[in-house]
Structure 1
């Protein structure tokens, strides 16, 4: 690992950052997502919520994997086509190969990546499992998207914020309700990066399956997790003032599907209820 070691809490012998407390009494979105992806870094409370959701919506696992595939397509496009060499991935989740830095550095070995997440489990596994190319760097910090200034201050030790950065908020903002300042948080992040930077974002929507999504909202709420689906118009607000790339704001599977790889989920008759876009700061 290269870059700012002080940005992350030091791992303990048990693999959990010193001073961090893992709350296993309620589910965490990153760990539920890990369970959907077939990972092992989750707790019974996370699996219980995942199984409850799956009992009512068998497509939930497909949705998680489809969202991961969008991240791979978007990152590859940014590195190969847009020439982006710096990535700030907020709400990165528990490492699941291929990770964002592996994709970016596969196209550009000198790419610099900073991951941020508010779950100590994510940080612990990131520090243990994610390794950079010699030419680039990968750093990890424990921070919440609701503290954008802290994220930017820590990320600046590894990234040059005077040069273009891809800010990745994949499957994150639907865990931040409007009353927590969701739009203001994204604007703060976009305002802090220069012209030529990109915003990558995917967002759950109720427009395709209102009943099913509402069930998901209620199940997450029962587990103490807020879920905030948004319409296409509400999602578009995140990209205010930005220039859409490729097909613009579309359903998740419609964003450059031709860029998919062998690990992508096959399309089903029912589309994944997420909007997604990549947009450039002019």
Structure 2
């Protein structure tokens, strides 16, 4: 198989002589998945310094890193915000069940571990339609509610279907904490607003949505990612402005400190840079008017 080499970078995932790409290793696909082209979920795993990626993912990830070194900071703060949001929803808001809509490959600080560290009875449903993620989830979650976990084979492309499937493992009459950490980046504005509206409309009073999204304050790395990966890599993320991220919380009651860069959202001691990062986030609470009592 051949492909068009990027003249500026020399990077081409389809050519065996591309820098850093081990074609023989890529062909040793023991899982049945296509590993001849990068997968964004695996590339994020590489940026997060995980181990569940292939040479082609590392090749692409290193190319973007060369142009935009802070993508590694972004990957770190995605996971850091996820952990903080879980502690807020379970510990402060008292929510005992979580829905992870869009799942990362196993890395560190997994949602169920953090949630059950706060509340040993907390339950977590992981939802994704990506077969790669599904395979990893099945390997980790080999029985319903093992370690308080379940798996839902559905994604945000069909938010109504996602909530129907979630209702089979979660009690939607009780508050649910939804994590949208990596799943909105690939949706356009209309699709993202629709997905959030469907999820928020199906959740009861007191539920929360945690949203984390790439922003384009510097932009060069995301522009490079799009230019090199367009037409080759499905699910490429795109940036929104900070105002665009705030707009995703329309109709929700923001939890302090509101919408902010992930490095500044309830910061904790960390060896990573504390300045603004191209990743904005927040937690919004579903607040519905309580029905008035009838007159006697």
Q: TM > 0.5 between the two?
A: yes
Q: Which residue of 2 aligns with 1:251?
A: 261
CA deviation digits over 1:250-274, x for unaligned, max 9?
111111114x6xxx552255x2101
Counterpart in 1 of 2:278? 273
1:220 counterpart residue number? 229
Name the CA distance, whole Å, in 1 between partners of 2:50 and 2:137: 14
- Which of 67, 70, 88 is matched with 2:81 structurally? 70
Alignment of 1:1-282 (within 5 A): 22-130=33-141, 137-178=148-189, 181-206=191-216, 208-221=217-230, 223-225=232-234, 226-258=236-268, 264-269=270-275, 271-282=276-287
3-state SS of paired residue (2:185) = helix
Count of aligned pairs: 258
Counterparts of 2:147 and 2:135, CA distance in 1: 21
Shift of 1:232: 1.6
Q: 1:133 to 1:99 in 2, by over 3 A?
A: farther
Matches of 2:153 and 2:144 in 1, distance apart?
22
* TM-score scaled by length of structure 1: 0.84
- Flag structure 1 segments of 5+ consecutive residues without an equivalent: 1-13
Deviations 1:34-59 (A, max 9, x none): 11122222223222211111121112
Shift in Å, 1:25: 3.5
What per-residue deviation string (whole Å, max 9, x for no partner) do you get for residues 104-137 of structure 1?
Answer: 0111111111001232222222222258998962
Map Cα deviations across residues 8-32 of structure 1 (whole Å, 9 max, x no partner). Answer: xxxxxx996xxxx633243222111
The answer for the alignment partner of 2:4 in structure 1 is: none
Q: Distance in 1 between the 2:225 and 2:88 partners?
A: 31
Larger Rg: 2
CA distance in 2, matches of 1:221, 1:125: 26
- How many Å separate the matches in 1 of 2:211 and 2:72? 19
Structure 2 unaligned spans of 5+: 1-28, 288-296
Q: Is the 8 A contact 1:49 1:223 kept in 2?
A: no
Q: Would you tell me which structure has more helix in proportion to its own residues?
A: 1
Q: CA RMSD in A?
A: 2.4
Q: Secondary structure at the match of 1:275?
A: strand
Q: Distance in 2 between matches of 1:67 and 1:94?
A: 13
8 Å CA contact 2:177–2:207 kept in 1: the answer is yes
1:209 Cα shift? Answer: 0.4
Cα distance in 2 between the residues matched to 1:134 and 1:26:
34
* Deviates most, 238-247 or 133-142: 133-142
